A and B are shown apart, each in its own frame.
Chain A
Amino acid sequence: MYTCQDSINLLLDFLDGEMPAEVSAELREHLAGCPPCVEFVESYRATPGICREALKAKMPPEVARRLTQFLRSRLPPQGVP
């Protein structure tokens, strides 16, 4: 019988779908009897998407202006020879 700890250790492979059938069957069996772990799996699964939103950034206008200037000073006006 898997414990919660065993199950949580396996979550990455479980969600990647890379797991031998008997291991995933045992994990599912634990989840079937453990509502807190089911909620944990949901929160683990949701984490990357929430973070991706939070980590989006915009280049500050001043940095963008300097980037354009830099590229214009380094690149040939007619592009690739």
Chain B
Amino acid sequence: MTAPGPEGDKALLASAQAGNMGAFEELVERHRDRVYGLALRMTRSEADAAEISQETFLSAFQHLQSFRGEAAFGSWVHRIAANHALMRLRHRRVVQMAEEELKAPDFSERGTLLETPAPEWSKPAEERALDAELGEAIRRATDALPDAYREVFLLKDAEGLSYEQIAEATGDSVPAIKSRLHRARLALREAIDRFYKEP
């Protein structure tokens, strides 16, 4: 039995680097859900997500010897997945929702907030435990974000990449990334708020 988490990953990685395929397969098993989830939300396609998962782990295996373990295996493999998903999005021309349709709070002419957030927000996290319908509303709202906004939100807020890592992966500037992240958060916040306010 190998320990769970990054420590166990380290032992499995060393074993895989020494040629133990079983250890590599266990690493795959540990990380495949998150790789698949990221690819699915990025591309919004189950078929693409399945292929990206294959490409990601094949590429991870091919570069196994050059991976020095300065980062956790998990972050490394998720960055590979992010890059593969980004490449796929770049090669795919889809009808994009206009940027102006991103939902944001309403202000008066004088810049005053017109609506107060729903009372549910102030409940402690465990009390607003995720219900299935809210989860569905969030997935719809995430899928509806324009690609450039959805990418940044998923990489930063779901995967925990740094602004610099995202800039490197997307080729965009850090200020542009921050501005999109802010608008994506506002749009998702609105979606959750509307869900709470539904009668």
Contacts and interface: CB of A to CB of B under 8 A. Distances in A.
B90 interface: no
10 contacts: A12-B182, A36-B113, A37-B113, A39-B116, A47-B157, A47-B189, A67-B54, A70-B58, A75-B21, A79-B24
A39 B123 CA distance: 11
A4 B112 contact: yes
Given A3-B107, A58-B33, A67-B32, A39 B57 contact: no
B116 A57 contact: no
Contacts of B102: none
Interface residues of B, number: 60
- B20, B49, B111, B115: which has the most chain A beta carbons within 10 Å? B111
A4 B37 CA distance: 36
Interface of A: 3-6, 8-9, 11-13, 34-37, 39-40, 42-44, 46-60, 63-64, 66-68, 70-71, 74-80
A81 B125 CA distance: 49
B130 A54 contact: yes
Contacts of B11: none
A1 to B, nearest CB: 10
Nearest to A6: B111
A36 B139 CA distance: 27
B28 interface: yes
B193 interface: yes
